[in-house]
Structure 1
Amino acid sequence: MADLAPLLEVDGIETCYGLSQVLFGLSLIVRSGEMVAMMGRNGMGKTTTIRSIMGLTPARAGAVRFAGQDVRKLPSFRIAQLGIGLVPEGRQIFPNLTVRENLVAASGNRLRSPDPWTLEKIHALFPRLAERGNNMGNTLSGGEQQMLAVGRALMTNPRLLILDEATEGLAPLIRDEIWNCLSMLKARGQSVLVIDKNIENLTRIADRHYIIERGRAVWSGTSEQLIAEPDLQHRYLGV
């Protein structure tokens, strides 16, 4: 992956909630066409990292660069418009819009992708969303809401897709659908940054991994390197 250009560069960011500092000089890189995983126990700063990237909880120090542009001080909507699609923790779909309305509300091809995501392609990816097209968002199961959140993010045709807790709390069959979706996106060349706890699936499809501990990236490496270090997994991931 060394020959791929950096798409997202997080360089030494420090982020606080009020007087409480959560991130302490955290750095990571996602290259174009790469799938990168962030791993770590709960409360270690993974979601805060995502919030800092998206400008939702801006870092007070360090740099966040996307496609070479410094975005740390940009408002969240501008960062999204540059080509980042977010599947947030808790899904946050629009409860009073239908499934179809959720998908088309933020759809667009701002970056002029030659093979853009369309409603038909999302329905092929998640047939259940086609079946539930006229259902209101708040009537969906948790798994259906996660599919909808992924589909909504893809409909923006992002250069980078970010998933925070991609499969947490989902039934096994729905988890399989999400992992199959991520495998397909990897084959398509989609750049992805994903947070999840399923080491088996992450090491199967992700190119590289960062382990986050108390607001710092304490380890990074390939899937092969992570598999080869079970003591590391036990120390930082509790497995």
Structure 2
Amino acid sequence: MAKETSADAMPLLEVDSIETCYGLSQVLFGLSLSIQKGEMVALMGRNGMGKTTTVRSIMGLTAPRAGNVRFDGREVRGLPAFRIAQLGIGLVPEGRQIFPNLTVRENLVAASANRLSSDDPWTLEKIHALFPRLAERGNNMGNQLSGGEQQMLAIGRALMTNPRLLILDEATEGLAPLIREEIWNCLSMLKARGQSVLVIDKNVENLARIADRHYIIERGRSVWNGTSEQLVAEPDLQHRYLGI
């Protein structure tokens, strides 16, 4: 799949000046970002700055009180979360949230769908090829897996929906180095396939290697966005906003 490069191309996802609150506590203050079809975009910032709230706002889990969320040109702010997912957004949530009382295989097939009507959709066999450990653990219950295996399962489950946009919240947080490397290899492969991705992680080196663009948020606001080349060229920026 070729990536859209025209300046006039409609974004696949456009988040425009959203404000999101939990009760009386406001977390996002006019935050904006966009993702083109076939683009991998990273969302970065220190803990507590609003990254997960941004994901929840996109997915309809915590509806913004102002602003717009458009997916493929359609306004989705205000839609229930299951409808937004059905439009073609696959989520790998923070904490994985796999189904503990289903087997690995059941976790994968329960959400399977061909959202893109693709001639080459993700199938159980392709997920097993991507993560062979899931094939080995196919009859194990979700709560019998290690943290790394659960993350593989969460990614596989999201891919089985054949999403138009894949969102990964804390893609490699708390994982062993070898598992992290496997996840980064998976993301590189997805990028090569032209999968649109929004990824949240703290590993700037790997994000700069595979992401097309980056947004940094600070206290619920987007304070910088640019390419990987621009991010690498500004170490002071990384220190100021990412603590690196």
Give the TM-score, by structure 1 length: 0.99
1:178 is matched with which residue?
Answer: 183
Match of residue 45, structure 1, among 44, 50, 60: 50
Over aligned residue pairs, what C-alpha RMSD do you find?
Answer: 0.7
Match of residue 126, structure 2, among 117, 121, 125: 121
The answer to whether residue 170 in structure 2 is matched with residue 165 in structure 1 is yes
3-state SS, counterpart of residue 12 of structure 2: strand
The answer to whether residue 237 in structure 2 is matched with residue 238 in structure 1 is no
Runs of 4+ that moved beyond 3 A: none
1:106 is matched with which residue?
Answer: 111
Separation (CA, whole Å) in 1 of partners of 2:141 and 2:233: 46
Give the TM-score, by structure 2 length: 0.97
Match of residue 229, structure 1, among 209, 234, 237: 234
3-state SS, counterpart of residue 69 of structure 2: strand
1:13 is matched with which residue?
Answer: 18
Q: What's the offset of the Cα at 1:115?
A: 1.1
Separation (CA, whole Å) in 2 of partners of 1:35 and 1:83: 16
Superposed counterparts of 1:169-208, under 5 Å: 169-208=174-213
Q: What is the one-letter code of the residue matched to 2:95?
A: G
Separation (CA, whole Å) in 1 of partners of 2:115 and 2:53: 27
3-state SS, counterpart of residue 236 of structure 2: helix
Separation (CA, whole Å) in 2 of partners of 1:96 and 1:202: 34
Q: Which ranges in structure 2 are unaligned for 5 or more consecutive residues?
A: none
The answer to whether residue 133 in structure 2 is matched with residue 137 in structure 1 is no
Q: % of aligned pairs identical?
A: 87
Separation (CA, whole Å) in 1 of partners of 2:223 and 2:187: 25
Q: What is the one-letter code of the residue matched to 2:84?
A: I
Aligned residues: 239
